């Protein structure tokens, strides 16, 4: 009997209680993810209610260094929570970058069935299709919360599913870094001309902007950036924000830290499932996985926002980092270039046009509403120093 037929028959009793009860019990457990207790596929059985069901052991490959704060650790937590929520039915072993495959080969590993899930930003896969950029980060585009608005209420998820299915992948958001920083530079950026000849580690859409500004973009995984910057192989790098940048020690290799995150208002990190593996799960199990991915997206955004402020103070006060902001004329030039690139991407093919128009429709709505609601509030909140002070 085929595994899928067997699973459907044995899932008749107890699947509903699994979906509700397990999610209620799910939390970010402290179980050691490296304990090595990962049996072979089908080698053991799991009892759910009164039914005996075979467990499924899956492999997740990530684009992050092992145990990297907020990203590698979040992938591990997501895997643990899926196991808890399914009563051990779905068990996921997480491999950091280079443990199973190099970081930038995670997509291919999942697409080809050599791994089951990847955890990383989709703009790394722009070589597969340029519109994966729109699901990672669009310069001057949607923030982390606005991305969920597009995906859930603007048609973005259906288009993403259609695009990724061409590569045998089912995508979903699972991590958000929040507002990012403009990057680390070994010289100040005072004018548009300062981008000429600049060699900067910056992937995806942001890298294309650097190209059109006269620089040279370089794509490097996180674990390779510090060495390249410290040895002078690159002149600048963006990564994420203070929490992660402090962990990688970039303050030891560059003096200037720019605050304007034009290129990534938030990096959306994806859990991309091999489509055959995804379709082989029971409907209740897919709902559990989707709910946990949404939970981790929200929690990761809260975590980055909570950690970044303290890390920035440490960088400035303890390590003498010089905080800078790009001049307005530089930002205006970057925005014009970004708009041209986005439109060019949208003309690539039919699905590109549909993704572009869907994204920009949501962005237009966001800008209209935030101008009325959010921006005046932020300005008003800064008028008084009384709020925000501890007793």
The string of pLDDT tens digits covering residues 325-352 is 999 999 999 999 999 999 999 999 999 9
The residues near 281 (Cβ < 8 Å, ≥ 6 apart) are 56, 90, 289
Q: What is the pLDDT of residue 7?
A: 39
209 within 8 A of 215, measured Cβ to Cβ: no
Reference 298, options 194, 166, 109, 148; nearest CA is: 148
Predicted local distance difference test score (pLDDT) of residue 230: 95
| CATH 3.40.190.10 domain span(s) along the chain | 183-264+321-381
Separation between Cα atoms, residue 96 and residue 268, nearest integer Å: 18
Q: Tell me where in the chain the CATH 3.40.190.170 domain(s) lie.
A: 3-178+266-305
d(CA 36, CA 85): 20
| CATH superfamily of the 183-264+321-381 domain | Periplasmic binding protein-like II (3.40.190.10)
Q: What is the pLDDT of residue 54?
A: 84
Task: Identify the pLDDT of residue 286.
Answer: 98
Query: ∠ CA 232-233-237 to the nearest 5 degrees?
Result: 85
> What pLDDT is attached to residue 73?
96
Q: Name the percent of the chain lying above pLDDT 70.
A: 86
Give the CATH H-level superfamily of domain 3-178+266-305: Bacterial extracellular solute-binding protein, family 7 (3.40.190.170)
Separation of alpha carbons 109 and 118, rounded Å: 8
Give the C-alpha separation, 269 to 287, whole Å. Answer: 19
CB of 93 within 8 A of CB of 75? Answer: no
Which residue ranges of the chain lie beneath pLDDT 50? Answer: 1-51
Are the C-beta atoms of 59 and 116 separated by less than 8 Å? yes
């Amino acid at each position: 009997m085929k595994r899928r037929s067997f699973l459907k028959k044995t899932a008749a009793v107890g699947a509903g209680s699994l979906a509700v009860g397990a999610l209620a019990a799910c939390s970010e457990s402290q179980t050691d993810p490296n304990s090595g207790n990962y049996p072979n596929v089908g080698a053991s059985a799991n009892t759910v209610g009164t039914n005996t069901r075979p467990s499924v052991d899956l492999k997740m490959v990530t684009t992050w260094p092992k145990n990297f704060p907020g990203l590698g650790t979040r992938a591990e937590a997501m895997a643990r929570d899926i196991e808890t929520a399914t009563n051990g039915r779905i068990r996921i072993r997480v491999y950091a970058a280079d443990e199973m495959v190099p970081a930038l080969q995670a997509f291919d590993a999942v697409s080809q069935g050599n791994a089951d899930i990847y955890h990383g930003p989709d703009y790394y896969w722009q070589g597969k299709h340029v519109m994966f950029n729109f699901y990672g980060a669009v310069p001057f585009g949607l923030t982390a919360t606005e991305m969920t608005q597009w995906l859930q209420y603007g048609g973005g998820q259906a288009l993403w599913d259609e695009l990724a299915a061409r590569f045998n992948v089912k995508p979903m958001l699972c991590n958000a870094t929040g507002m990012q920083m403009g990057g680390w530079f070994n010289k100040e950026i005072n004018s548009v001309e300062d981008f000429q000849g600049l060699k900067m580690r910056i992937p995806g859409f942001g890298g294309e902007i650097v190209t059109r500004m006269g620089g040279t973009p370089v794509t490097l995984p996180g674990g390779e950036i510090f060495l390249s910057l410290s040895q002078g192989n690159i002149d600048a790098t963006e990564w994420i924000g203070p929490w992660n940048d402090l962990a990688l020690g970039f303050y030891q290799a560059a003096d200037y830290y720019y605050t304007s995150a034009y290129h990534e208002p938030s990096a959306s990190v994806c859990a991309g499932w091999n489509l055959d593996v995804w379709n082989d799960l029971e409907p209740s199990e897919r709902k559990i996985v989707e709910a946990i991915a949404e939970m981790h997206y929200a929690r990761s955004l809260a975590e980055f926002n909570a950690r970044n402020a303290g890390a920035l103070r440490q960088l400035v006060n303890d390590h003498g980092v010089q905080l800078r902001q790009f001049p307005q004329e530089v930002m205006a030039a970057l925005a014009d270039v970004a708009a041209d690139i986005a439109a060019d991407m949208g003309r690539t093919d039919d699905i590109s046009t549909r993704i572009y128009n869907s994204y920009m429709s949501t962005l237009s709505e966001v800008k209209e509403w935030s101008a009325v609601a959010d921006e005046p509030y932020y300005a008003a909140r800064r008028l008084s120093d009384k709020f925000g002070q501890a007793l």
